[in-house]
Amino acid sequence: MTIEQLFNGANIFVLPFWVLIILLPNWGVTRKIMESYLPFVALAVLYGFFFVNSLTAENAQALSNPQLKLADLAQIFADPKVMATGWTHYLVMDLFVGRWIYWEGQRTGVWTIHSLALCLFAGPLGLLSHILTSAIGQKFFTRTEDSKVETVTTSS
Please state the rounded mean pLDDT for residues 83-93: 97
Q: Are 10 and 43 in contact (CB under 8 A)?
A: yes
Residue type at position 74: A
Is residue 140 very low, low, confident or very high in pLDDT (cuts 50, 70, 90)?
A: confident
Q: Show Cβ contacts of residue 123 under 8 Å, excluding neighbours closer than 6 positions.
A: 90, 93, 94, 97, 98
Is residue 81 very low, low, confident or very high in pLDDT (cuts 50, 70, 90)?
A: very high
What is the three-class DSSP state of 1? coil
Is pLDDT at 154 greater than 70 in this prediction?
no
Q: What percent of the chain has pLDDT over 90?
A: 77
Q: What percent of the chain has pLDDT over 70?
A: 90
Domain count, the chain: 1
What distance in Å separates the CA atoms of residue 33 and residue 65, rounded to the nearest whole number? 41
Residue type at position 45: V
Q: Is the pLDDT higher at 63 or at 22?
A: 22
Q: Is the pLDDT higher at 155 or at 137?
A: 137
- Could you tell me the residue range of the domain that residue 37 belongs to? 3-155
Chain centroid to CA 42: how far? Answer: 15
- pTM attached to this predicted model: 0.84
* First-residue to last-residue Cα distance in the chain: 71
Dihedral (CA of 150, 152, 153, 155) sign = positive
What distance in Å separates the CA atoms of residue 108 and residue 55, rounded to the nearest whole number? 42
What distance in Å separates the CA atoms of residue 53 and residue 78, rounded to the nearest whole number? 15
Is residue 146 very low, low, confident or very high in pLDDT (cuts 50, 70, 90)?
A: low
